[in-house]
Amino acid sequence: MKKPRAAPRPTVDARLAQLAAMERGEAPVDPAVARDALGGKVGIVVAAAARLIGAGGLDALIDGLAPAFARLVDDGVARDPGCRGKIAIARALEQLDRWDDAVFPVGVRLVQAEPVWGGREDSGAELRAVCAMAYAHAYRPDALDVLADLLADPERMARVGAATALGDAGHADATALLRYKVRVGDPEPEVIAACLGSLLTLAPERSLPLVAGLLDERDDDRAAAAALALGESKRPSAVPLLIGWCERTTAPLRARVGYVALAMLRDAAAVDHLLAVVATAGKADAFAAIAALTPYAADARLAERLRAHAAQHRDPAVRAAAP
């Protein structure tokens, strides 16, 4: 008598659909399915399982994250293109506030060069950035050394992650490293913006003159990075700095960055200034100020004030633009 054939193993697409339904809450989380997915060698399937574990409620599977990470590091280009599985595992451990020596020290240095049209591309930058944050949040004694190395990483995303993590690490000494990076510069404005944001987090009063001084640099990208860092700081002392800069900078930079930075402050004086621009400035500035305030128009009071000030403008297109 022939033995009955074993049921065929679900396809990758079927397993992903099943895990996605659990992640969205459309199906109950099945620990057996998550365990099976985590134990595989397909990065995108492991990633889906890791996200479920990171969301909580599957504590029995946490110890399986590090072995899964090791499997995906081995022959990573084939098993885990884009590092999606490894990134999800690192994020899950971060969410669960679990430090793992088999994951973060490996991930923060991992380079995965993958073939792309015209050459190769490192897909490990995001993983290094996630692991950098883990070093900061775990208050590791070697965090500053690790993050300093990563601040010189060839990839923009890793450098941004390092700069952001230095702010989260809470080490006052990190300000010297961040100031140095700002002074020597970076080809990516996002890196400078992250450095400035971390400086304003770690030492706001000491760092404010440095950030304010960048507003009037000839390099528009550095000026924009400084303006956005001031906006993200949510500090009232940034309001007059940004208003003054908006009044003296070029119209395109004012419209593209200055008004957005003022709106980001969520400060009464900044909002009053933007509303005055809506009511009285030229058409281009009024449109830009409306666009800057619109993301916050879920606040019914602000939406009402925005419409009222737009209604005062002489141009009917501006009057009609307020949400």
Asked if residue 271 and residue 196 are part of one domain, the reply reads: no
User: Element (H or E) spanning 263, and its range?
Assistant: helix 259-264
- Whether residue 202 is found in the same domain as residue 287: no
DSSP of 115-128, one letter per residue?
A: EETTEEEE--HHHH
> Tell me: the pLDDT tens digits for 182-238?
999 999 999 999 999 999 999 999 999 999 999 999 999 999 999 999 999 999 999
pLDDT for 118: 79
Same domain for 258 and 221: no
Same domain for 260 and 316? yes
Q: What is the pLDDT of residue 7?
A: 53
Q: What is the pLDDT of residue 11?
A: 87
Predicted confidence (pLDDT) per residue in 108-165, tens digit: 999 999 998 878 999 999 999 999 999 999 989 999 999 999 999 999 999 999 999 9
pLDDT beyond 80 at 9: no
290, 321 Cβ separation under 8 angstroms: yes
Percentage of the residues of the chain whose pLDDT score is greater than 90: 89
- Residue 219 pLDDT: 93
Q: Is 78 a member of any domain?
A: yes
253 plus 227 within the same structural domain: no
Cβ 37 vs Cβ 10: under 8 Å = no
User: Judging by DSSP bridges, how do beta strands 113-116 and 119-122 pair with one another?
Assistant: antiparallel
Position 1 confidence tier, pLDDT thresholds 50, 70, 90: low
- Domain boundary pick from 81, 106, 131: 106
Q: Could you tell me if residue 219 is inside a domain?
A: yes
Whole domain around residue 173: which residue ranges? 139-233
- Each residue of 280-312: pLDDT tens digit? 999 999 999 999 999 999 999 999 999 999 999
pLDDT of residue 170: 84
Q: Is the pLDDT of residue 6 over 80?
A: no
93 within 8 A of 65, measured Cβ to Cβ: yes
As a whole number, mean pLDDT of residues 50-60 equals: 94
pLDDT score at 26: 93
Which DSSP letter does residue 4 get? P
Across the chain, how many H-helices and E-strands are there?
Answer: 21, 2
Same domain, 310 and 253: yes
In-domain check, residue 175: yes
Q: State residue 111's pLDDT score.
A: 97
Please state the domain count of the chain: 3
- What is residue 172's predicted lDDT score, i.e. its pLDDT? 86
Query: For residue 242, is it within any domain?
Result: no
The verdict on 302 and 220 lying in the same domain is no
283, 323: one domain: yes
Which residue, 209, 233, 257, sits at the end of a domain?
233
Residues 156 and 190 reside in one and the same domain: yes
pLDDT exceeds 70 at position 57: yes
What is the structure's pLDDT at 266? 95
Question: Considering the domain boundaries, does residue 133 fall inside one?
Answer: no
CA pair distance 197, 238, nearest whole angstrom: 13
Is the model's pLDDT at 167 over the cut of 90?
Answer: yes
